[in-house]
């Protein structure tokens, strides 16, 4: 009988990587965080650091020698090949393909590694443990450094023929003179509705007007600054979220036409601003939906701790190894 009853889940984000040891009940026994963005274009250096962090967190959990496998969710992670390819928010994987699963497994002395898109991993975590529990058809949208998506149809994550299905963050939301996205295209949803996009909107609006705003006191505006200003009732910050939510809602209407989900679930750092995003998203989505879907599609926010959803989702891959 296989006595390896624990797995490791890894969530690779554009700025940080979260990892944890998970048991068969879905309890995260120990977890850690490392930087993703301090290795330049050196993929092997990042993977070596990740392997070391995995070994440390396994030791902290007291499960050395008991790990069945490692599941990883990463931008542009390919479930079929185990590679990360042309991921604009990962400098070490932005210009080509990195054989991630193979390299990480080697650093972990042969422990098997399974990889998928980070948003797909979050979707699996939400479907298993969160607000999408019991749902067979929903779309997960991750609002972080980028905008990712995981599409679930009939209870299964959609991977497409090449493993890259679900890049809804790179659908076009501004057709004329749109911002250049990290992927090289113009007008992508990610360029406007990611944490970076929200901060950029605020900076552009401040530069083009003399409107008073708490944000003028910030040296380098982040989405967190915009959120804090909105909580203080700052008019410009509130409009930034209204604009962001409206763009999301319009695009969600198109996504609904594709897969008719029961719900769209929002997850990630920017989703913390739900008090400012929910109404504009819902209104814009319903204004742009066909009549057959108006009022039927729920907008939900993840109730899992931000780190846990992706860690748990990624860890689910490892049970299959």
Mean pLDDT, residues 32-45 taken together: 96
Question: Per-residue pLDDT tens for 209-237?
Answer: 999 999 999 989 999 999 999 999 999 99
pLDDT for residue 294: 96
Alpha helix ranges (H) inside 157-270? 189-193, 195-207, 223-231, 235-259
Which conformational region is residue 27 in: left (phi greater than 0), alpha (psi within -120 to 50 degrees), or beta? beta
Tell me the CATH number of domain 6-124+307-318, given options 3.20.20.140, 3.40.50.720, 3.30.110.30, 3.30.420.40.
Answer: 3.30.420.40
Quote the tokens at residue 1. 């009988």
CA atoms within 13 A on the CB side of 266: 23
Neighbouring CB atoms inside 10 A of 107's CB total 18
Measuring CA to CA, which residue among 33, 22, 16 is closest to residue 75?
Answer: 16
Q: Answer yes or no: is pLDDT of 92 > 70.
A: yes
Question: Per-residue pLDDT tens for 100-113?
Answer: 999 999 999 999 99
pLDDT for residue 304: 83
Q: Answer yes or no: is pLDDT of 3 > 80.
A: no
Question: Per-residue pLDDT tens for 276-315?
Answer: 999 999 999 999 999 999 999 999 999 887 667 779 989 9
Q: How far is CA 247 from the centre of its chain?
A: 18
Q: Answer yes or no: is pLDDT of 2 > 60.
A: no
pLDDT for residue 128: 83
8 A C-beta contact, residue 261 and residue 300: no
- Go through the chain and tell me how many residues it has: 321
* Rounded CA Rg of the chain: 20
Q: Write the CB contacts of 166 (distance below 8 Å, at least 6 apart in sequence).
A: 117, 119, 120, 148, 149, 150, 151, 157, 158, 159, 160
Quote the tokens at residue 188. 């992508």
Superfamily of domain 134-303: ATPase, nucleotide binding domain (3.30.420.40)
Q: Answer yes or no: is pLDDT of 1 > 50.
A: no
6-124+307-318 and 134-303 in the same fold: yes
pLDDT for residue 307: 65
Quote the tokens at residue 53. 């962090």
8 A C-beta contact, residue 124 and residue 156: no
- The CA angle 249-255-259, to the nearest 5 degrees, is 140
Q: Write the CB contacts of 155 (distance below 8 Å, at least 6 apart in sequence).
A: 127, 136
Q: Write the CB contacts of 315 (distance below 8 Å, at least 6 apart in sequence).
A: 7, 8, 9, 20, 22, 71
Each domain of the chain, given as residue ranges in start order, spans 6-124+307-318, 134-303
pLDDT for residue 141: 96
């Amino acid at each position: 009988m296989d006595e390896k009853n624990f797995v490791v889940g890894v969530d690779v984000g554009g700025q940080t990587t979260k990892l944890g040891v998970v048991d068969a009940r879905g309890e995260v026994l120990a977890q850690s965080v490392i930087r993703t963005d301090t290795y330049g274009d050196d993929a092997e250096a990042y993977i070596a650091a990740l392997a070391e962090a995995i070994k440390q967190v396994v030791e902290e959990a007291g499960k050395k020698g008991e790990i069945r496998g490692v599941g990883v969710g990463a931008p542009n992670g390919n479930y079929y090949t185990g590679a990360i390819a042309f991921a604009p928010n990962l400098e070490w994987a932005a210009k080509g393909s990195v054989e991630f699963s193979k390299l990480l497994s080697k650093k972990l002395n042969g422990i098997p590694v399974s990889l998928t898109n980070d948003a797909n991993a979050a979707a699996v975590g939400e479907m298993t443990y969160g607000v999408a529990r019991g749902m067979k058809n929903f779309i997960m949208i991750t609002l972080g450094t980028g905008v990712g998506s995981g599409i679930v149809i009939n209870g299964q994550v959609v991977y497409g023929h090449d493993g890259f299905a679900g890049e809804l963050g790179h659908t076009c939301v501004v057709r004329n003179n749109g911002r250049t996205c990290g992927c090289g295209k113009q007008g992508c949803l990610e360029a406007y509705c990611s944490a970076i996009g929200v901060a950029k909107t605020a900076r552009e609006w401040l530069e083009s007007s003399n409107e008073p705003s708490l944000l003028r006191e910030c040296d380098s505006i982040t989405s967190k600054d915009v959120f804090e200003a909105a909580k203080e009732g700052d008019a410009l910050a509130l409009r930034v979220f209204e604009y962001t939510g409206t763009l999301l809602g319009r695009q969600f209407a198109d996504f609904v036409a594709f897969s008719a989900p029961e719900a769209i679930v929002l997850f990630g750092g920017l989703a913390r601003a739900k008090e400012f995003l929910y109404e504009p998203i819902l209104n814009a989505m319903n204004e742009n939906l066909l009549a057959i879907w108006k009022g039927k599609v729920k907008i939900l926010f993840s109730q899992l701790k931000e780190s846990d959803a992706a860690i748990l989702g990624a860890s689910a891959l490892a049970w299959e190894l």
